[in-house]
């Protein structure tokens, strides 16, 4: 390995032709995959992108999405100037205005709502992008509002909550030292491409893989020794059934349970009802397969369980599915030991980089009085116990009903109504607001509802701090000037704070002051990071030592691994169960099985799209030109449809029409549809109250639906 700290500058490959190679990161997908990129720049324009070979995260690789980054940056619908709405909300008629004027309007309107209704009536919401979030969070708090929320209301955090409720900290599988890898919804090949080569290497080393997935995927095909093609949303029953088998066969780790766990008796009593027969019936799996998988997992340790950020939690029983899965670690003694699950602490935006920063203090220092509860906290109290942000799944309701208090204005950064269940309801809510400002790169369907639209810039046009696994930190530099009149989100917030005369000195000092505040105990400086084109090693970073967390006492009320979660017990009266219980995921909305015979699974990741962002990018779109619904080939035969025929998918909430893609990879009875398309929005089908009472997460990945072929004359 070259010494990364010596390779500080990208080489200029063809001197004399005016091309410069500049380095930054691609932030198109998840924080863990913010790959290093070499941008070839000529005359101030990016002409080519490549993965950075010396980058400690991606080592030169780039995925389909990142490779299309140039087309993403130069998408034709980039917002060019600040805009003021001149048509109806949603119509898309705007006029350009100056930044100065835009700031004045936004400041006046937000302050007006604050004066009339109180600061909590202004909500601040961020879509997927993460880098500016602490800054936005502090802005909301300094403004005086408790209502800061993000896309985390549907992503990853429910799984983190489940870990916190059990041991008090998130964790990561130590697959390198495992003999068996239990992959609940494991398909990194599409959702986390950097993990794919690692998985293949582990397979070559002889690790055993058990993969639980309703679909046949590259992971089930390339890795699985056992593939359990489960009925969506029934993983909790499977995990409880496995627990029952493990206890019945005496495969559990009694010493570990005795010493380090809490609530085993109650858990063991509960799982008894998940006999092999019943588990097979609920999950749609064969008894023999469940038995073999359980035996392989429990008797060949150490074993780890790979995490998924959302496939298990996007169900109305999702949090408890996840808890049931986690509890297998306690039962088999695989928590906090080599080859099992290793506790991990976030350094910055969910990246466990092995060093500490003051990332939460930055906004907690200025938190306002909590006179009222944040949005969603009455309905989803457990969410608000763990999360210092509102649960956005209750936002459209609160805007429309005005209870327990009105929400009248919204600052949206990359706000996308198509990520929300029952998108139409969210559009109605946006229409009902007194004021809505949206900051985005592109003129999205949601931005069309805004009174003021502000143009943000991409990661290629700004500098940002980022921590990486392995003890690295970086502060990137823009590789091109911000396009048109766009600015970085933080610059926008800083300038707005100035116009508002927000009483917050540190915030108004800007982004570098924020980062300096957070890294103040580290020996690296922003200048050190800027001096390198690559992430640098942070001397304070250290690896986790397995067993240390257990020895010191876990972050739970009992200090132990809690089968019975004392944190959840606080909410027993609201009907939440401290032990991982199972309930069916399909019948809360009253859709009759006969009328709606299929199970709708929306949003299983495809390699060439990320939510709504790449549907308008030519290269990625060309790989799947139309929105399509994947159904089982036999189901297609029964329905009398062939590839490319139009079908209507209908639920109690809505209907959409899409082309059908019959496939043997899909479980019979399942209907798989990717989301984020304007012309066929999967979230028009999902009910806004079809949510998990523990986390607030929507049942994106299990609700009933029907399919009707659309004959040519009706199309």
Ligand X SMILES: Nc1nc2c(c(=O)[nH]1)N[C@H]1C(S)=C(S)[C@@H](COP(=O)(O)OP(=O)(O)OC[C@H]3O[C@@H](n4cnc5c(=O)[nH]c(N)nc54)[C@H](O)[C@@H]3O)O[C@H]1N2
Query: Nearer Cβ to ligand X, position 105 or 682?
Result: 682
Q: Looking at the DSSP assignment, which residues form a beta bridge with residue 671?
A: 600, 631
Residue 311 sits in the site that holds ligand X (CB under 6 A)? yes
Residue 212 sits in the site that holds ligand X (CB under 6 A)? yes
DSSP assignment letter at 394: G
Extended beta strands in 73-213, E state: 83-85, 94-96, 122-126, 148-150, 170-173, 180-184, 208-212
What is the C-alpha separation between 538 and 648, in angstroms, rounded? 54
Tell me which of ligand X, Mo ion, none is bound by residue 670, counting a contact when its beta carbon lies within the kind-specific cut-off of 5 to 8 angstroms.
Answer: none
Residue with tokens 């989803």: 380
Residue with tokens 């808890």: 323
Cβ neighbours of residue 281 closer than 8 Å, sequence gap 6 or more: none
Residue 190 sits in the site that holds ligand X (CB under 6 A)? yes
Quick one: which of 233, 241, 301, 693 contacts ligand X (CB under 6 A)? Answer: 233
Quick one: which of 676, 687, 693, 696 contacts ligand X (CB under 6 A)? Answer: 676
Q: How far is the CB of 189 from ligand X (least distance, A)?
A: 8
Tell me which of ligand X, Mo ion, none is bound by residue 99, counting a contact when its beta carbon lies within the kind-specific cut-off of 5 to 8 angstroms.
Answer: none
Q: How far is the CB of 311 from ligand X (least distance, A)?
A: 3
Q: How far is the CB of 155 from Mo ion (least distance, A)?
A: 3
Quick one: which of 109, 213, 336, 461 contacts ligand X (CB under 6 A)? Answer: 213
Q: Name the pairing type of β-strands 435-440 and 452-455.
A: parallel
Within 13 Å of residue 670, how many CA atoms lie on the same side as its CB? Answer: 25
Both tokens of 638, joined, read 């029964």
Q: How far is the CB of 681 from ligand X (least distance, A)?
A: 9
Residue 156 sits in the site that holds ligand X (CB under 6 A)? yes
CB 72 within 8 A of CB 28: yes
Closest CA to 149 of 349, 391, 314, 382: 391
Residue 440 sits in the site that holds ligand X (CB under 6 A)? yes
CB 659 within 8 A of CB 645: yes
Residue 280 sits in the site that holds Mo ion (CB under 5 A)? no
Per-residue buried b or exposed e for 22-47, using 16+ beta carbons within 10 Å of the residue's own CB = bbbbbbbbbbbbbbbbbbbbeeeebe
Residue 444 sits in the site that holds ligand X (CB under 6 A)? yes
Contact string (CB under 6 A) for ligand X, positions 477-516, x = contact: ------------x---------------------------
Q: How far is the CB of 501 from ligand X (least distance, A)?
A: 23
- Judged by CB under 6 A, the stretch of 49-57, 98-106, 346-354, 413-421 that binds ligand X is 413-421
Q: How far is the CB of 309 from ligand X (least distance, A)?
A: 4
Residue 439 sits in the site that holds ligand X (CB under 6 A)? yes
Both tokens of 577, joined, read 């169960």
Query: Nearer Cβ to ligand X, position 187 or 550?
Result: 187
Residue length of the chain: 715
Considering only residues 242 through 281, tell me which ones interact with ligand X, judged by CB under 6 A. Answer: none
Determine the 3-state secondary structure of 634 from DSSP. helix
Residue 429 sits in the site that holds ligand X (CB under 6 A)? no
Quick one: which of 155, 245, 443, 660 contacts ligand X (CB under 6 A)? Answer: 155
Cβ neighbours of residue 215 closer than 8 Å, sequence gap 6 or more: 187, 229, 604, 665, 666, 667, 670, 672
What is the C-alpha separation between 178 and 355, in angstroms, rounded? 25
Determine the 3-state secondary structure of 495 from DSSP. helix
Residue with tokens 């805009």: 83
CB 178 within 8 A of CB 203: no
Determine the 3-state secondary structure of 467 from DSSP. strand
Quick one: which of 37, 61, 140, 155 contacts Mo ion (CB under 5 A)? Answer: 155
What is the C-alpha separation between 538 and 347, in angstroms, rounded? 12
- Judged by CB under 5 A, the stretch of 153-161, 439-447, 579-587, 590-598 that binds Mo ion is 153-161
What is the C-alpha separation between 529 and 406, in angstroms, rounded? 44
Q: How far is the CB of 649 from Mo ion (least distance, A)?
A: 22
- Judged by CB under 6 A, the stretch of 93-101, 425-433, 570-578, 601-609 that binds ligand X is 601-609
For ligand X, the nearest residue by Cβ is 603
Query: Nearer Cβ to Mo ion, position 155 or 161?
Result: 155
Residue 151 sits in the site that holds ligand X (CB under 6 A)? yes
Q: How far is the CB of 403 from ligand X (least distance, A)?
A: 25
Q: How far is the CB of 423 from ligand X (least distance, A)?
A: 9
Both tokens of 504, joined, read 């917050």
Tell me which of ligand X, Mo ion, none is bound by residue 348, counting a contact when its beta carbon lies within the kind-specific cut-off of 5 to 8 angstroms.
Answer: none
Residue 395 sits in the site that holds ligand X (CB under 6 A)? no
Tell me which of Mo ion, ligand X, none is bound by residue 612, counting a contact when its beta carbon lies within the kind-specific cut-off of 5 to 8 angstroms.
Answer: ligand X
Other CB atoms closer than 10 Å to residue 76's CB: what's the count?
8
Contact residues: ligand X, CB under 6 A: 29-30, 127-129, 151, 154-156, 184-185, 187, 190-191, 212-215, 217, 230, 232-233, 235, 308-312, 314, 413-414, 416, 419, 439-442, 444, 456, 489, 601-605, 607, 609-613, 675-676, 682-683, 686, 700-701
């Amino acid at each position: 390995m070259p010494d990364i700290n010596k390779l500080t500058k990208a080489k200029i490959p063809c001197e004399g032709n005016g091309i410069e190679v500049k380095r930054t990161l691609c932030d198109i997908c998840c924080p863990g995959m913010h790959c290093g990129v070499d941008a070839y720049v000529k005359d101030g324009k990016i002409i080519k992108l490549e993965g950075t070979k010396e980058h400690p995260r991606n080592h030169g690789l780039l995925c389909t999405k990142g490779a299309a980054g140039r087309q993403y940056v130069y998408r034709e619908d980039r917002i060019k100037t600040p805009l003021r709405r001149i048509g109806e909300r949603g119509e898309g008629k705007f006029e350009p205005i100056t930044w100065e004027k835009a700031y004045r309007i936004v400041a006046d309107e937000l302050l007006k709502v604050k004066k009339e209704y109180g600061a909590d009536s202004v909500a601040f919401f961020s879509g997927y992008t993460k880098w500016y979030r602490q800054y936005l969070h502090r802005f909301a708090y300094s403004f005086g509002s408790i209502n800061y929320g993000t896309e985390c209301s549907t992503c990853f955090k429910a799984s983190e909550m489940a870990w916190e409720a059990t041991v008090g900290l998130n964790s990561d599988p130590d697959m390198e030292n495992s003999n068996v890898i239990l992959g609940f919804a494991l398909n990194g090949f599409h959702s986390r491409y950097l993990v794919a080569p690692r998985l293949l290497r582990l397979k070559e080393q002889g690790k055993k893989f058990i993969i639980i997935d309703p679909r046949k995927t590259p992971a089930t095909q390339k890795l699985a020794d056992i593939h359990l093609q489960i009925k969506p949303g029934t993983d909790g029953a499977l995990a409880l059934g496995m627990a029952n088998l493990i206890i019945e066969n005496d495969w559990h780790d009694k010493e570990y349970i005795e010493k380090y766990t809490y609530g085993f008796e109650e858990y063991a009593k509960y799982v008894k009802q998940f006999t092999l027969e019943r588990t097979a019936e609920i999950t749609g799996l064969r008894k023999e397969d469940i038995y073999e998988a359980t035996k392989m997992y429990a008797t060949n340790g150490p074993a780890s369980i790979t995490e998924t950020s959302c496939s298990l939690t996007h169900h109305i029983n999702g949090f408890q599915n996840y808890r049931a899965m986690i509890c297998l670690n306690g039962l088999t003694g695989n928590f906090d030991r080599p080859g099992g699950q290793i506790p991990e602490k976030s350094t910055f935006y969910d990246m466990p980089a092995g060093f500490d920063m003051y990332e939460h203090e930055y906004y907690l220092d200025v938190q306002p009085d909590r006179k009222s509860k944040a949005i969603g906290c009455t309905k989803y109290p457990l969410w608000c116990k763990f999360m210092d942000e509102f649960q956005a799944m209750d936002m459209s309701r609160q805007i429309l009903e005005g209870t327990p208090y009105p929400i009248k204005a919204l600052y949206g950064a990359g706000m996308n109504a198509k990520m929300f269940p029952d998108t139409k309801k969210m559009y109605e809510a946006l229409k009902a607001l007194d004021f809505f400002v949206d900051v985005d790169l592109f003129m999205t369907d949601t931005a069309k509802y805004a009174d003021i639209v502000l143009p943000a810039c991409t990661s290629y046009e700004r500098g940002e701090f980022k921590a990486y696994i392995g003890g690295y930190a970086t502060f990137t530099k823009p590789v091109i000037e911000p396009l048109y009149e766009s600015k970085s989100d933080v610059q926008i917030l800083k300038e707005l704070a100035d116009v508002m005369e927000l009483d917050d000195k540190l915030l108004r000092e800007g982004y570098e002051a924020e980062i300096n505040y957070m890294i103040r105990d580290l020996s690296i400086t922003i200048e050190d990071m800027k001096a390198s084109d690559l992430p640098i090693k942070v001397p304070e970073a250290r690896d986790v030592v397995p067993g240390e967390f257990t020895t010191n006492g876990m972050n739970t009320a009992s200090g132990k691994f809690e089968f019975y979660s004392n944190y959840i017990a606080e909410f027993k009266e609201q009907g939440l169960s401290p032990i991982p219980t199972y309930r069916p995921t399909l019948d809360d909305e009253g859709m009759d099985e006969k009328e709606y015979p299929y199970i709708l699974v929306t949003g299983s990741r495809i390699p060439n799209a990320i939510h709504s962002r790449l549907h308008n990018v030519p290269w990625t779109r060309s790989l799947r030109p139309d929105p399509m619904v994947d159904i089982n080939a036999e189901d297609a035969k029964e329905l009398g449809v062939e590839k490319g025929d139009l079908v209507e998918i209908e639920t109690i909430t809505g209907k959409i029409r899409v082309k059908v893609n019959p496939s043997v990879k899909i479980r019979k009875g399942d209907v798989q549809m990717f989301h984020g398309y304007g012309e066929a929005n999967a979230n028009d089908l999902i009910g806004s109250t079809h949510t998990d009472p523990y986390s607030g997460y929507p049942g994106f990945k299990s609700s009933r639906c029907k399919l009707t072929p659309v004959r040519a004359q009706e199309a």
